[in-house]
Amino acid sequence: MKKEQFKLFVQNHPNLVQYVKNKEMTWQQFYEIYDLYGENNSIWNTFNDNNKSSNSSLMTTIKDFFDLFKGIDLNGVQKALVSLDKAIEVFKGWNNSGNNSNTNNYEERPKYKYFED
């Protein structure tokens, strides 16, 4: 009978699921607290979302940040950066060749100067 009451309690307090998903608590730990203190004890206030400490939410945010980068293929990122670098060099070459076409690189030979004089 106690298990059924605990299931109803969890349905009425869906914020407990987040603690289990974040691996901060287990269902066994919650059930033991429920069995010892009941459902109307002030201990459940510590698990309310409104009273959740900022440190815990900061740790969750940091964990989410690292989970975001966990699946990134660094070799693929490096290859993409190398290709981007090459593309930038090509565009720089086009830009420089456009500037050089306006300037005359022709040097006039001195008069009376023959082939290897």
| Count of domains observed in the chain | 2
- Residue 23: inside a domain, yes or no? yes
Q: Give the residue numbers spanning the domain of 58.
A: 54-99
- Tens of pLDDT, residue by residue over 23-80, are 888 888 888 888 888 888 778 888 775 544 545 566 667 777 677 677 777 888 889 9
- Of residues 21, 71, 14, the one with CA closest to residue 44: 14
> Do 42 and 81 lie in a common domain?
no
pLDDT of residue 82: 92
Distance CA 73, CA 75 (A): 6
